[in-house]
Structures are given as C-alpha cells and as structure tokens.
Amino acid sequence: MKKTLLLVQVIGLTLLMACNSGKQGSGTGKNGGPYGVKSGIVIYKPMNMMGMSISQTIYFDDYGNKETREVITQGSMMGQNVQTRAFDIREGLTSIHYELENIKNGQNIATKDAYKQTIPKELLEEQYFSSLSDDLKKKLKYTENGTETVAGLTGTKYTMSPDSANPNMVATGVHYKNILLKLEMGGISVVAEKVELDAKVPADKFKVPEGFTIVDKNKNALPEQGTKK
C-alpha cells in the first residue's frame, strides 16, 4: 500500500514538474497561469504496479489557474479488492482533496469530508517555469533534448534530477506549452493518451460535490458546509 501511495504522490509531482519545462517565458499562460493553452483535458494511460491499475485525468481552465486531477485506482492488494476515485481541485493557491469512492471488498468507506488547504505562494511559483531561476535549473540539472511527439502533440524533451538526495535518479519528460505529455522516472512511466486543447470543461469539475463538508486544514476551526449546487 505504501508503494501505491508513493506512486500517487509521484503522479502529482510529475504535474508540477511539467510546469518547470521550456525556455524562460515560453509556454506560460495569461493571468499568471502555468499553461500556454486556456483550457484542456488530458487523459493519461493507465499505469500498473503491484497488481494495481492507476489512471488519471487532468482538467484545467483559465490557463491552469483552475485545475482538477482525478485519480482512479483499482485492483487487488493484500487479499482485498480495492477501488478508489479521488479528486484534487486547485484554484489559485487553494487546494481541496476529496474521495468519491474508497471501496474495499465491496464496501465504500469514503467519507463526506473535503480537505482544504492553502498552497504557499513561493512553493507554487517555483513550480511555474516563468519563475524558475537559473540556480534552480542548475540544481535540478535541467536540460532540453530536442522534441518528441506524444498523443499527437510535438513537445519539448527534457531531463532533470528532482531528488537531491538521489542525484542518480533522472527524470525524462516531454511537455507541450508546460502541459505534461510524458515523464519516466525510477521505473514509473506517465504518458498522455489523449489531449483535448481549448476544451469546454464543465464548471462543476472545479467544485466540491453537494453533500460534502469542507474541512479547513489551515485552521482549527469548525468545518463549514460545502456550497450547494
């Protein structure tokens, strides 16, 4: 289970790493957004690990200022049939995580809590290529290596070493206007299967569903009820 959780975390890291790619000032969007395309839907190929299949889809709007990541995990682990469906919504510096499904042997143990937290501005900004300093490029050993076509889009190839504790672990990726198309690192492969640019993404993709309670992890205050549709 720990390896699966680590894999899900790496998936999130790859999306942040995608924003680090490209030449200074290129590929970044309007209004301070990370992407050079106003909206889109990116479906990634399922990954298999330890009998588990992990799929993810990214929805974004306003050049990435609004972004939702949906991750579906299913398979068998430790004698249990497992299926989860989780969402991470980010709008500006606010992030909300919730689960629609967390099924183990036919029982859904997902709660109706949606966890809200604020992302430190400096942490988010350093993920965007437009603010990536020359020193950070050097630290990450970031280099560009031509182009590669993935899911019908020709993007920039790059390599980097994101783990300072393990400098021999090299990540190889491809991005198109800062949208992650492909990333391979430590035996993990994330590859886009279908990319729809300038897509009309439904507004409810960026909202917590009705019936959830928003729990603010930044404050020890009483939870507030989520907005009804």
Three-class SS state of 156: strand
State residue 202's pLDDT score.
96
Q: Encoding tokens for residue 217? A: 């992890």
State residue 187's pLDDT score.
82
pLDDT-based confidence at residue 33 (cuts at 50, 70, 90): confident
Q: Encoding tokens for residue 162? A: 């994101």
Mean pLDDT of 85-98: 94
Whether 63 has a pLDDT exceeding 70, the answer reads yes
Distance CA 50, CA 153 (A): 31
User: What does the DSSP 8-state code read for residue 79?
Assistant: T
Whether 152 has a pLDDT exceeding 90, the answer reads yes
State residue 38's pLDDT score.
96
Whether 91 has a pLDDT exceeding 50, the answer reads yes
Mean pLDDT of 191-219: 95
Structural domains in the chain, CATH included, are 2-225 (2.50.20.10)
pLDDT-based confidence at residue 127 (cuts at 50, 70, 90): low
Residues in Cβ contact with 30 at an 8 Å cutoff, skipping those fewer than 6 apart: 38, 63
Whether 59 has a pLDDT exceeding 60, the answer reads yes
Please tell me whether the overall predicted TM-score, pTM, comes out greater than 0.95 for this model: no
Using the Cα atoms of residue 148, residue 151, residue 152 and residue 153 in order, give the sign of their dihedral.
negative
- The β-bridge partners of 86 are 71, 99
Residue with tokens 């919730």: 98
State residue 218's pLDDT score.
84
Helix (H) or strand (E) holding 16: helix 2-18
